[in-house]
Amino acid sequence: MVRRVLMSGLILGACVALLSTIVSNQGTAEEAKKKAPPQDAAVERARREVRMLDDIYKTAVVLVTEHYVKTDSDLAAGSAFKVLFESVAKKGWHEARLVDATGHPYSDLNLPKEGFEKKAIAELLAGKPSYDQVITEDGKRYLLAATAIPVVMEKCIMCHENYRTVEKGKAVGAISYKVPVQE
């Protein structure tokens, strides 16, 4: 059973990565080189970090939900990950939070914040798998990124009845990240 769940998580992660690659690769590699501005290596490293974190977090949510959420009174994976995200932020690694894209959040704390998150949710609802932007705060650069969260398990509906009517594969939310750009 554990092997099947691990394989499901790996397959899900691979599908997300493949879809992201397909969507982001428009035209030939040569055309992309001509269109693309010079790459900022530090920003590219931050984007890679977001992809890695996203894969880890989403795979873990699926595993926790599959193995530990049995009834609607059990601790939801989303609630557990909010605590994890707070702990990671307190240690200064990065910030991450769950953001609603349905308009009917589990908690109002999950509503998208003005600015980046509202723009990111609009982009994700339009079909993009992710959206990012580089900002500068107090002289330090950060990558803001948001990645789509679709409903991937029937168990999600135990806590989120409104997900039942969402088109399969459509974003119901996002993980919003704020990652330091290491120069």
Residue 160 pLDDT class (50, 70, 90 cuts): low
What is the tens place of the pLDDT at every residue in 29-71? 455 445 555 579 999 999 999 999 999 999 999 888 888 877 7
Q: Is the pLDDT of residue 161 over 50?
A: yes
Half-sphere exposure of 59 (CA within 13 A, CB side): 21
Q: What pLDDT does 77 receive?
A: 82
Comparing 15-19, 45-49, 140-144, the range with the smallest average pLDDT is 15-19
Number of structural domains the chain divides into: 1
- 5: pLDDT strictly greater than 80: no
- Once rounded to an integer, what is the mean pLDDT over residues 134-163? 83
Provide long-range contacts, Cβ within 8 A and 24+ apart, for 55-60. 55/13, 55/16, 55/17, 57/81, 57/96, 57/175, 58/12, 58/13, 58/16, 58/147, 58/149, 58/175, 59/9, 59/10, 59/12, 59/13
78-108 tens-digit pLDDT: 888 999 999 999 999 999 999 999 988 878 9
- What is the pLDDT at residue 13? 44
Q: How far apart are CA 75 and CA 65, in angstroms?
A: 9
The pLDDT value given to residue 27: 45
Instruction: Give me the domain span that covers residue 108.
Output: 2-180
**pLDDT in the model for residue 180:** 97
Name the average pLDDT for the chain. Answer: 80
**pLDDT tens column, 106-123:** 789 999 999 999 999 999
